[in-house]
Amino acid sequence: MGDGNCRLHGGNTPAGQLAGVRERVVDGYRRFGAPRPIAPLAALQEEISRTAGMISMLEGEVNRTVDPDGRPILVDTGGLHPTPSPLVILHREERKHFIAAARAAADAGVEAERQNLIKAYRDHVLDIVDLVVRALGHDPDDPRVAAVVGGCFQQVAAAAERPMVGGEL
């Protein structure tokens, strides 16, 4: 099936079908972004974060959707058979997805890999500090140098409202 306004074919021609495919691809890019390379463990971590955000948003929406008495509307009574609210159903499905993604991440060792990245980042930063101290002609083992560098790290940590690579220092 294609897209188009032709009253005879309704887009069901080679040109109409091509236009339909092109429109769906452009729409996909507009809504979901271009494909990008990503490591499997990073993809799992992103999915967990995205799902946690979706769950928080849905919980907020459920809490904002209230009846005249101020109670959350958890059941849709608009039809012949009362059913859970669509927001509650979506929340339940997202939580199931969250658990599955978290389980997959645990099985794949995402947290261990994250800790390894944090440790590697720390080691890299300390190596850079060591090189800078030596390049300035100081001994990295000098207690005064250690005090100054330690104080600088404390100042950075105290003002750390911005996220750091790996999540922490």
Residue at token pair 């990503």? 38
Residue 94 burial by Cβ neighbours in a 10 Å radius (0-12, 13-18, 19+) = buried
Q: How high is the pLDDT of residue 128?
A: 93
Give the tens place of pLDDT for each residue, 18-59: 777 788 878 877 887 777 888 888 888 899 999 999 999 999
Residue type, 112: A
Q: How high is the pLDDT of residue 132?
A: 93
Q: How high is the pLDDT of residue 100?
A: 94
Low-confidence ranges of the chain (pLDDT < 70): 1-7, 9-11, 160-169
Q: How high is the pLDDT of residue 25?
A: 78
Q: The whole model's pTM is what?
A: 0.52
User: Where in the chain are the domains?
Assistant: 1-36, 39-108, 115-158
